[in-house]
Chains A and B, each alone.
Chain A
Amino acid sequence: DTEVTQTPKHLVMGMTNKKSLKCEQHMGHRAMYWYKQKAKKPPELMFVYSYEKLSINESVPSRFSPECPNSSLLNLHLHALQPEDSALYLCASIRVAGGDEQFFGPGTRLTVL
């Protein structure tokens, strides 16, 4: 199984809503990532969890709150988002740090009204 899954596929939310994005992998990977991708741009790194601990936060606003409950699961909690946060949110994982192939999920298309 070389798959990273993400739910939901699409999400529409208002600026006062609270929602969560979910990512799962069952490849035994120990590092998991959240990226944000705007149209016609490459992915931008948001967060990295390594061995279930937050190791990188790329100065992301606090309205995005990551959580890694276990080694297979990564969540991104959303609250009080802005319309400019509308984007494709991608999850990725690697076996261990350094030198490994990174696998991406299909993404969640988020629209903030």
Chain B
Amino acid sequence: KQEVTQIPAALSVPEGENLVLNCSFTDSAIYNLQWFRQDPGKGLTSLLLIQSSQREQTSGRLNASLDKSSGRSTLYIAASQPGDSATYLCAVSSNDYKLSFGAGTTVTVRA
């Protein structure tokens, strides 16, 4: 069974600092890894999708890396802003339909 772990569980940084969020998974036989953002009481917004054959994906200030052999992904958010405050979830697709989610990292960016 795929187990996904996110460290740290919570993070508080001053505005302008770079954010580093970690995700690890136990089974390297994956289709892809997806990073999501969730604001309180809202749905999940897809940030980045990395296919198993890829090493990284970038979108604006966001960059996600994937090391499938070691079961790790890292999400970098450059020059954080208060609007980046949210919970960030990583999820791994290991079969045709199911996503295995980590518990999330709750980020607070202080103005």
Contacts and interface: CB of A to CB of B under 8 A. Distances in A.
Interface stretch (A63-71, A75-83, A93-101): A93-101
A88 to B, nearest CB: 7
A4 B51 CA distance: 22
Contacts, number: 59
Interface string A89-113: 0101000011111111111010000
Given A41-B103, A42-B102, A101-B49, A107 B97 contact: no
B99 A105 contact: no
Given A55-B97, A56-B98, A98-B93, A105 B103 contact: no
A104 B44 contact: yes
Interface string B87-111: 0010101011111011110000000
A97 B96 contact: yes
A63 B46 CA distance: 30
Given A42-B104, A56-B97, A109-B41, A99 B34 contact: no
Given A42-B103, A103-B46, 6 more contacts: A42-B89, A45-B98, A45-B99, A99-B31, A99-B51, A102-B93
Interface of B: 31-32, 34, 36, 41-46, 49, 51-52, 89, 91, 93, 95-99, 101-104
Contact of B36 (A33, A98, A104): A104
B46 to A, nearest CB: 6
A107 B42 contact: yes
A102 B32 CA distance: 11
Max chain A C-beta neighbours (<10 A), residue from B32, B89, B97, B104: B97
A15 B99 CA distance: 31
Contact of A90 (B43, B46, B103): B43
Contacts of B43: 4, 6, 90, 104-107
A42 B34 CA distance: 14
A24 to B, nearest CB: 14
B46 A102 contact: yes
